[in-house]
Amino acid sequence: MNLNKNTNSILTLVFSIFALIISIRSCDISKDALNYAKTIEAFKLTPGLLVECDTIDVKFDLTNQAVLQGLRIVFPDKVTSNFLDLKTKPYSINQYILSSKVKGYIESKIQISDSIAVIGNINIPIIVNYSAMVNGSSQYLRENRVLIFDVHFEKNLSKITLNSSYLINRVGYPIKEVSYWYNPFGKSKQEKVSEQDNLDVKNLLDEQLNNL
């Protein structure tokens, strides 16, 4: 009889602990969701990128009189797995350098023959991670954009020039809402979020590249 009572007490204790863990976890998920929603809403009020293209350079600046402090351009893996970092002023890149990043991908999509010239546009989606000084404080921001390249290919001519860029969406970090169980013996939450975000960015750009 006492054995049954002890067993029931132990089971009750186990269920209580399990219920407490679930309750705490639910609170954490709700808190993460609320914080993520606030972050996304705040991004709408932050300075956006200005992209100016001429025949020589592509220049980057910010709206709202904010000060750009650096940026990184992330391309789809099918285009290049290498980032493009701009860390010092002026924040610009030569057209030749930029076109060299995408040339291999564009050439793989175009078949050149002796008697045919190819003239047109190719769109490539990107993620731009950038930092800005806004009202005396640093902010780390993101945009999902499309680069529009003018393409002129002939037998003895290969010319790729960035014509313009347009905004798809302002996005946050991480790019998708995520939540993880705490594991004191595993990777930190920051590491897990970073790894998942890199994967989500890759999948997003690959999907957009296929649909553009």
Higher-scoring residue by pLDDT: 170, 38 = 170
At 114, is the secondary structure helix, strand, or coil?
coil
Q: Which has the closest alpha carbon to 62: 74, 52, 75, 73?
A: 52
Reported as a single tens digit per residue, the pLDDT across 152-197 is 887 777 888 999 999 999 888 888 876 656 666 667 778 888 888 9
pTM of the model: 0.76
User: In angstroms, what CA-CA distances link 69 with 5, 7, 88?
Assistant: 67, 63, 7
Is pLDDT above 90 for 112? no
In the structure encoding, which two tokens stand for residue 191, read together? 């590491």
Q: How many residues does the chain have?
A: 212
Three-class DSSP category at 181:
coil
Q: How far apart are CA 128 and CA 50, in angstroms?
A: 12
Exposed/middle/buried for residue 76 (C-beta within 10 Å: 0-12, 13-18, 19+): buried
Q: How confident is the model at residue 31 (pLDDT cuts 50, 70, 90)?
A: very low
- What is the rounded CA–CA span in Å between residue 61 and residue 51? 7
Q: How does residue 30 score in pLDDT terms, banded at 50, 70 and 90? A: very low
66 contacts: CB under 8 Å, gap ≥ 6: 46, 47, 132, 133, 134
